[in-house]
Copies of this chain bind each other. A is one copy, B any other.
Amino acid sequence: MKAKIYVTLKQGILDPQGKAIEHALGSLGFNNVGHVRVGKYMEVEVNETDKTKADVTVKAMCEKLLANTIVEEYRYELQ
């Protein structure tokens, strides 16, 4: 199974990378740009056919390594 994992900063946490992109887009002439938030996107192949087991594994991966749950939140899709 393949897991698509999205890790983003929690609401209210300052996102300097997003701000930098916002300014850069403005400088390039994109004047209709509002907020920009930046996160990580990961595709992880899990050698597991059972969806429930894969779900438990991916959740554990996110909690232990892929996301810093103090400032980040994550969501994932299994395919």
Q: Chain A interface (Cβ within 8 Å of chain B)?
A: 6-8, 18, 21, 24-25, 28, 30, 32-48, 57, 60-61, 64-66
Contact = CB atoms under 8 A, between A and B. Distances in A.
A46 B32 contact: yes
A66 to B, nearest CB: 7
B40 A39 contact: yes
A45 B36 contact: yes
Given A28-B64, A64-B28, A65-B28, A36 B47 contact: no
A43 B57 CA distance: 27
Contacts of A42: 18, 21, 36-39
Contacts of A37: 42-43
